[in-house]
A and B are shown apart, each in its own frame.
Chain A
Amino acid sequence: MLVKEIMRKPVTVIPVGTTIGEADQILLSRGFRHLPVVDQGRLVGVLTDRDIRFATSSLCQTPRSAGDPVSLAMSSPPLTADPLDPVEDAARIMREHKIGCLPILEGAVLVGILTGMDLLDALMILTGVTKPSSRLEVALPDRPGELARLTAFLATRHVNIHSILTYPTPDATVRTVLRVDSTQIRPLAEELRVAEFTVLWPLPKPQPIP
């Protein structure tokens, strides 16, 4: 999944000469938390609602006032990303720098913006919860061909896979979470166990008392 698939566009921007008070009004009235700041069409910074709180706080050493220009409160220069970057790279930049948004540049042109909320949307799409499906969790050995063995098994049962997520675990297995288009994952899990897969969910059922 690429940034361009989930970024927001068009982007609302403010000129560098905008006052802090005017910018605050835009953030409030539009429900935004981030505003890219431009100087003659060129991106020069990002102003967040948090920047404004800090810059205008009476606890600040040199508190700014509503009439000051946003250049005195914004973060500059901003970190940016490319529309063709994978979303996980964008997520890593935002996480490492603890920032809430990335302006997306194509050359010098601002073409979109990606926020933490957009990454949550991406997570929901990636995990496949937007379609009716069941969840199957399998622990696979960490070696070539294991995922292929699992998906080939599902293919023989004509089970359509909406999404696959895998992640490494401390015990050196690969936790594999699938959302599949089937209500019948219990019988499927039993067949997988017979085929010597380690199925973590659904669990085997306790036997009734005769």
Chain B
Amino acid sequence: MTTLIHRPEYASYDFGPEHPFTPSRLAVLLDLLRCLGHPAAPVAAPAATREDILSVHDEAFVAMVEALDRGETRPEAERFGLGTPDNPIFPDMDLAARWLVGGALHGARMLMEGAETRVLQLGGGLHHAQRDRAAGFCLYNDLAVAIRAFVDHGWRVAYLDIDLHHGDGVQNLFYDNDQVLTISLHETGHYLYPGTGHIHELGSGSARGLSVNIPLEPFTESESYLEAFEAVVPQTLEQFSPHVLVVQAGADAHFADPLGDLALTTQAFQTLYRRILELTDAHTKGRVLMTLGGGYEAQVVARVWTILYLTLMDLPIPEDLPREWLERWKHLLGPEVGRTLQDPKPAFPELPGREERARRNQDVVGRLRDSLLRYWL
């Protein structure tokens, strides 16, 4: 079965009303699950300790977050990526971030104890957080703390990142660690934040070949995305033979996301989730730790992550969105929400240049595979 991890305190990770990474996205999601007759019964995990955070972050950075958390004014905060438009300072930010890290860590411990095989944290996925600085809405790297715990337990960890943005924080933290494979699919960093995640970023030292990046053209659609996934991910996992899979399941690769340019549909996400579960059955005895991640359109993330939840729970996917849910949240859902859980077909007008984009994605994947093959021999 699947264990859900969540607690009301996750809503305290809040950069303010104007910020896209708003906790109201989670409230809308939880209410949709409830209205569909599947109220989430989550486990409330304890907050991560300072020591847990220091397993991947620098003391000076953590001390800075704690000082700002106490309301102190520190002019040098921006050097740590704090107090920027992406990462505004807010009260109790240290504790708010430790709740999220604690959830991922608790999920990791359940997997290590053998108490569970599938864990979904309804929150977190703070993959941009670096060793010594906050970045891209991410304070502490919950994924990296969980991965570190798995590694200390003696496990090889495969990390899969399907967020719109490159998972640079997790990649950097384990770039030379041969117990950790990181795979990130994302819109190319030629344009989009954080500007990295190119195919030649392959890891260093004994971990060469264990950092895998699949950068995709802006406006890449479902078919081309899934083709790239199939060309790289299954074989890479097979070569590495991990004990556990950690997944950052950001939903911002959806076509209607306001911050990005990939063009996936809800149907593509469902296919992707099913494939991920099949791959865990094949390579990790079904063990998977998932978090949420990016995704900035409330009506989209509620629908996409509901499909994630139902897929993990082996539940059927209903057709219609509940009326009471549409009514209750219409101030947040906007005019573009339809009446169905899945996107309509077609979901958007034909995007010119589809074949050219698909060809460029195939070329990139081909170059990546040429690079990887030498490490697989």
Interface positions of A (Cβ within 8 A of B): 129, 131-135, 157-160, 179, 181-187, 201-203, 205-210
Minimum CB–CB distance from B335 to chain A (whole Å) comes to: 8
Q: Is the CB of A184 within 8 A of B195?
A: no
Q: Is the CB of A181 within 8 A of B86?
A: yes
Is B104 an interface residue, CB under 8 A from the partner? no
Distance between Cα atoms of A129 and B196 in the complex (Å): 8
- Among the stretches B37-45, B239-247, B340-348, the one at the interface with A is B340-348
Distance between Cα atoms of A159 and B78 in the complex (Å): 12
Q: Is the CB of B349 within 8 A of A186?
A: no
Find chain A residues with CB under 8 A from B190 CB.
Answer: 135
Interface positions of B (Cβ within 8 A of A): 20, 78, 84-86, 128, 135-137, 165, 168, 190-196, 218, 255-256, 258-261, 335-336, 338, 344, 346-349, 351
Nearest 4 interchain pairs by C-beta: A132-B194, A134-B193, A183-B193, A135-B191
Find chain A residues with CB under 8 A from B192 CB.
Answer: 134-135
28 A-B pairs with C-beta separation under 8 A: A131-B195, A132-B128, A133-B193, A133-B194, A133-B195, A134-B191, A134-B193, A134-B195, A157-B85, A158-B84, A158-B85, A182-B193, A183-B86, A186-B260, A187-B258, A187-B259, A202-B191, A202-B218, A202-B261, A205-B261, A206-B348, A208-B255, A208-B256, A208-B347, A208-B348, A209-B346, A209-B348, A210-B336
Distance between Cα atoms of A158 and B351 in the complex (Å): 34
Find chain B residues with CB under 8 A from A134 CB.
Answer: 191-195
Given A208-B256, A208-B347; A132-B195 close (CB under 8 Å): yes
Find chain B residues with CB under 8 A from A203 CB.
Answer: 218, 261
Find chain A residues with CB under 8 A from B349 CB.
Answer: 206-207, 209
Name which residue of chain B comes closest to A205, CB basis. Answer: B261
Find chain A residues with CB under 8 A from B261 CB.
Answer: 202-203, 205
Q: Is the CB of B195 within 8 A of A183?
A: no
Name which residue of chain B comes closest to A160, CB basis. Answer: B84
Find chain B residues with CB under 8 A from A133 CB.
Answer: 193-195
Q: Is the CB of B136 within 8 A of A132?
A: yes
Find chain A residues with CB under 8 A from B218 CB.
Answer: 202-203
Name which residue of chain A comes closest to B259, CB basis. Answer: A186
Q: Which interface residue of B165, B193, B260, B344 has the most chain A CB atoms within 10 A?
A: B193
Find chain A residues with CB under 8 A from B128 CB.
Answer: 132
Minimum CB–CB distance from A162 to chain B (whole Å) comes to: 9
Minimum CB–CB distance from B63 to chain A (whole Å) comes to: 22
Q: Is the CB of A129 within 8 A of B195?
A: yes
Minimum CB–CB distance from B311 to chain A (whole Å) comes to: 23
Find chain A residues with CB under 8 A from B347 CB.
Answer: 208-209
Find chain B residues with CB under 8 A from A135 CB.
Answer: 190-192, 195
Distance between Cα atoms of A157 and B338 in the complex (Å): 33
Distance between Cα atoms of A205 and B86 in the complex (Å): 22
Find chain B residues with CB under 8 A from A160 CB.
Answer: 78, 84
Find chain A residues with CB under 8 A from B348 CB.
Answer: 206-209
Find chain A residues with CB under 8 A from B255 CB.
Answer: 208
4 other contacts beyond A132-B195, A134-B195, A182-B84, with CB at 8 A cut-off? A132-B196, A134-B194, A181-B84, A203-B218
Distance between Cα atoms of A160 and B86 in the complex (Å): 11
Q: Is the CB of B165 within 8 A of A183?
A: yes
Distance between Cα atoms of A187 and B347 in the complex (Å): 22
Instruction: Specify which of B85, B195, B256 is in contact with A159 (CB 8 Å cutoff).
Output: B85
Distance between Cα atoms of A201 and B261 in the complex (Å): 11
Name which residue of chain A comes closest to B168, CB basis. Answer: A132
Find chain A residues with CB under 8 A from B196 CB.
Answer: 129, 132
Q: Is the CB of A209 within 8 A of B344?
A: yes
Q: Is the CB of A183 within 8 A of B336?
A: no
Minimum CB–CB distance from A176 to chain B (whole Å) comes to: 15
Distance between Cα atoms of A51 and B193 in the complex (Å): 44
Find chain A residues with CB under 8 A from B191 CB.
Answer: 134-135, 201-202
Instruction: Specify which of B20, B165, B168, B338 is in contact with A210 (CB 8 Å cutoff).
Output: B338
Given A132-B194, A135-B190; A182-B86 close (CB under 8 Å): yes
Minimum CB–CB distance from B170 to chain A (whole Å) comes to: 13
Find chain A residues with CB under 8 A from B260 CB.
Answer: 186
Find chain A residues with CB under 8 A from B338 CB.
Answer: 210
